[in-house]
Amino acid sequence: MLEVRNLSVGIATPSGPLALVEEVDFRLEAGRTLGIVGESGSGKSMLALALMGLLPPAARASGSIRLEGDELIGLPEAALCRIRGKRIGMIFQEPMTALNPAMTVGEQIAEGVQWHENLGRRAARARALDLLQRVGIPEAARRLDDYPHQMSGGQRQRVGIAIALACRPRLLIADEPTTALDVTVQAQILDLLRELVAEMGMGLILISHDLGVIAETADDTLVMYAGMPVETGSSAAIFARPAHPYTRGLFLAMPGHAGVPAGAGQRLQTIPGSVPEPGRRPSGCRFADRCAYVIEACRAAVPPWEPLPGGQQARCIRLEELP
Amino acid sequence: MIFLLLRRFTALAITLLLASIAIFLVLEILPGDPAAIMLGTEAREDTLAALRREMGLDRPAYERYLNWLGGALSGNLGLSMTYKVPVAELVADRLAVTFPLAFLAILISTAMAVPLGVIAAANHERPADHGVMLFSQIGVAIPNFWFGLLLILFFSSYLGWFSAGGFPGWDDPVAALKALLLPAVALALPQAAILARVTRSSVLEVLGEDFVRTARAKGLTRRVALRRHVLRNALIPVVTVMGMQFSFLVAGAILVENVFTLPGLGRLLFQAMSQRDLVVIKDVVLLFAALVIVVNFLVDLAYAWLDPRLRQG
Amino acid sequence: MTALRTVVRHPTLNLGGLVTLLLLGTAVVSQVWTPASPTQIQITQRLAPPLQAGLLGADHFGRDLTSLLMVGAWNSLSIAFVAVLLGMAGGVLLGTLAAAWRGWAEEVVMRLADVTFAFPAVLSAIMIAALIGPGATTAVIAIGVFNIPVFARVSRAAALQVWERDFVLAARSAGKGPVLITLHHVLPNIAGLLVVQATIQLALAILAEAGLSFLGVGMPPPHPSWGRMLSDAQTYLSQAPHLAILPGLAIALAVLGLNMLGDGLRDIIDPKLRRKR
Ligand code: SF4
């Protein structure tokens, strides 16, 4: 349903073009969930915006994004506007700021429907009510005319989901949908997303820095590092046998993982240093500066994909020699 | 909500009261003998005494103040010394010029400033933006009475489209509006310059908000997202600034009315000053100050109405 | 070093500074030298256009316009400067004390600021002029009074932020009183902001002064003043348009320069605002 080939995002700077995201490839089938995981600075949010065609003005995407066979790259803005919200829905990270404070939640949900489907006010409102119930807001009829500030963070995120689902899109992109929420609310929101995917049969791209979130929800996983995918495969395979040194580091840093005290947080204490900024990235393997197994050859060229059993792949030249 | 309104109303009443006390202190207590000031040094003792009696200066200050305040509240503003007519009548006539002038000026400045500010913000850091900012910088620096002179120079002296001043009265509404147009434009320009700048920065700020991205993710075009989601939120600070600018508008009206010899409140005040008619000055200054205070109060209310987060208060 | 570089590279700041310097220079020079006497009446060159008498022509008494404008700069600036200084002194005193004492003192000060805000300079000037007649004092008081609430609000808001900072907490726990804290910690930290505000208020004060002397409540003749030159020019609008154009240009240029200087200074003192302005 969605096929991304060799997708790159570059930004023009006074000192020449700078790559933010490079060589992303993946496929997503309807009814399945792809998890994209990486630290902040890995380019995963930029990737999401590229899929939506909502990159900042200075940034350009190249490569290919095919949604149900239609190429999105190079599409004029007017055509993209017909696709956004209609065929692709997006859920954002901050439920506190992602909703317009001066508009009722009902209006905000109905807006997309009215826009894309030329539905009358009344019909759109009925759809909004239906959606609000669907995303699990109690007493939805009464809450329809509430303003965002009258709702809790979790409820607002449910509204955010309702907005994204308003036109029954085939593809849903959720960028860190639970990061800003309490742990208990996080679980509820993830449950809701899983239910909706099963029920409506759309494809879901779930972006998170949190392996736990990905493990619970995603069928397949793509690990991003410094703007480039470093490992992909079924979640089952990756979570059973992480291959790339970076993925392994991520796992070791997971709270509750053997050897790491629970609650160690999001900082990757097992990997020294931090994700290099675009422009400071090493030329060969992007992970070379932080990798414990780095050798001379790693820096010579970007490592090719190495196939592993079960369709798993990793971009590391020393997979065989790793302990 | 009701509690909030009550609080605001109390603050309004206190501010108005303080303003009236300040005016009374300056014009009736500070000078010692207001009658002497009004009549000048050569006045004869018996005329002085007569005026003192007429103004009630033989009574204690607080009684005079309460009298004045009570009169002001009931529309009885006393008798003008120079015109020998009730001040209320004078004011009512003049208000029929000043109020439409101020209203027209606000209309013109808003109609100019909001689109300019939005265009500048939508074209951030591009030529259109720089152009608007340049207009704003220059517009703020131009004194409105000078701009009025330039308008007269160009449109009346050179082109002959408008008369250089004066007011034909409301019997002929078209002629009246025509007479008010140039003064209103002169008054509006500096206001528009400031408002355009405020609108621009406000729109820019809202454009960067997450909910605008949400709106774009629904598929709304830039233009529609701007209209439906940005404008309303961006106009909140603009309205506040409009309220704060109102005192400058009042000051500007006094000047511009004198440039165009419009028989408005500002001209009345100016003439009363030349004739040292303290009764008229006291009343008109109170009226102007009260206008500023009430407008700011209304803007406060509008603010709450525009921002639902404040409505529940 | 980077601060210096932003100063050097900042076009608004540079241009504004240049214009302001020019204005200051003209004002100062006018006190020791002008091309002709600004008070000397020469009926023969009455209403002469630019270049036919002096550089910029002559007014309705035949006085040299260049000289009048130069001395006008001095008069306008000195009134504006004194007025803003007075307003700043009063406003900062009230504002910082309100922030230091909070509670009812703050309430009273802010309410008073609200009230004063309702009296634009022109309005109070007319009141004062009716009592003591027109003159520099009238103008200074009227403009100064209107500046008090402006500075009271700005300094209170800024001072409140300083009061939240750690070093103030430390000073308080060391037993320093509110007055000493205000003197030692608050004032130095809000000084930059006050300078910016003063620059912008100076521009507004020049505008106000021009308005007052236009109405005839500012500096009395024969002292040249830009505002009164404009009001005189009204009578000869079609005969001698340069009399109506040049003094206004002088006002606009002075205000423009000061505003740009103020904006530039603010950018440097508070870089966060740069994106928006
Ligand atoms: S290619 Fe080299 S540097 Fe990169 S992950 Fe593998 S071992 Fe480490």
A28 lines ligand 1 (CB under 6 A): no
pLDDT per residue as tens digits for the range C36-52: 677 777 777 666 676 66
Q: Do A92 and B210 touch (CB under 8 A)?
A: yes
Instruction: Give the ranges where chain C is alpha helix by DSSP (H).
Output: 2-9, 11-30, 65-101, 103-117, 121-132, 136-163, 166-173, 178-181, 187-215, 226-233, 241-269
Q: Do B308 and A101 touch (CB under 8 A)?
A: yes
How much is the pLDDT for A261? 41
A314 lines ligand 1 (CB under 6 A): no
Instruction: Report which secondary-structure segment, H or E, holds A24.
Output: strand A16-28
Q: What Å distances lie between residue B37 and A283, B274, B279, C142, C213, CA to CA?
A: 87, 12, 12, 19, 22
Q: How far is A311 from chain B (nearest CA, A)?
A: 33
Q: Do B219 and A86 touch (CB under 8 A)?
A: yes
Token pair of B138 as six digits? 């220059």
A243 lines ligand 1 (CB under 6 A): no
Interface of C with B (CB under 8 A): 111-112, 114-115, 117-123, 126-131, 203, 207-208, 210-211, 214-215, 217, 230, 233-234, 237-238, 241, 244-245, 247-248, 251-253, 255-256, 259-260, 275-277
Which residue in the block uniquely carries the two structure tokens 């010692």? B32
A293 lines ligand 1 (CB under 6 A): yes
∠ CA A58-A60-A61, nearest 5°, is: 155
DSSP letter at B299? H
Task: Give chain C's mean pLDDT.
Answer: 81
Q: Are strands A16-28 and A171-175 parallel, antiparallel or unpaired?
A: unpaired
DSSP letter at B249? H
Kindly tell me if the per-residue pLDDT of C275 is higher than 60: no
| Closest CA to ligand 1's atom 1 | A316
Distance of CA B204 to the CA centre of its chain: 28
Domains of chain A: 2-87+169-314 (3.40.50.300), 95-168 (no CATH)
Domain boundaries, chain C: 2-276
Q: What count of other Cβ atoms lies within 10 Å of the Cβ of residue A92?
A: 25
Q: Do B289 and C119 touch (CB under 8 A)?
A: yes
pLDDT per residue as tens digits for the range C53-93: 666 676 666 677 777 788 788 888 888 899 999 999 999 99
Domains of chain B: 2-74 (no CATH), 87-312 (1.10.3720.10)
pLDDT per residue as tens digits for the range A160-182: 999 998 999 999 999 988 888 88
Task: Give chain A's mean pLDDT.
Answer: 87
CATH fold for domain C2-276:
MetI-like fold (1.10.3720)
Q: Is A63 helix (H, G, I), strand (E, B) or coil?
A: strand
Q: What Å distances lie between residue A91 and A126, B223, C123, CA to CA?
A: 22, 22, 55
Chain B contact present for A168, CB below 8 A: no
Identify whether the C-beta of residue A217 lies closer than 8 Å to the C-beta of residue A233.
Answer: no
How much is the pLDDT for C61? 67
Mean pLDDT, consecutive 10-residue segments, chain B of 313 residues? 80 88 84 73 75 75 82 76 78 87 91 92 88 89 89 82 78 84 91 90 89 91 89 85 83 88 88 83 88 86 74 51
ipTM score assigned to the predicted complex: 0.85
Chains touching C (3+ CB pairs < 8 Å) = B
DSSP for C161-175 reads HHHTSHHHHHHHHTT
Chain B contact present for A122, CB below 8 A: no
A217-235: b (≥16 Cβ within 10 Å) or e: bbbbbbbbbbbbbbbbbeb
The whole-model pTM stands at 0.81
Q: Is C66 helix (H, G, I), strand (E, B) or coil?
A: helix
Q: Which amino acid is at B115?
A: P
Q: What count of other Cβ atoms lies within 10 Å of the Cβ of residue C153?
A: 20
Token pair of B73 as six digits? 């509240």
- Exposed (0-12), middle (13-18) or buried (19+): which is B32, by Cβ within 10 Å? exposed
Beta strands in A137-197 (DSSP E): 171-175
How much is the pLDDT for B311? 61
Chain C residues whose beta carbon lies within 8 Å of the beta carbon of residue B155: none
Token pair of C244 as six digits? 């109506």
DSSP letter at A43? S
Under the banding of pLDDT at 50, 70 and 90, the label for residue C189 is confident
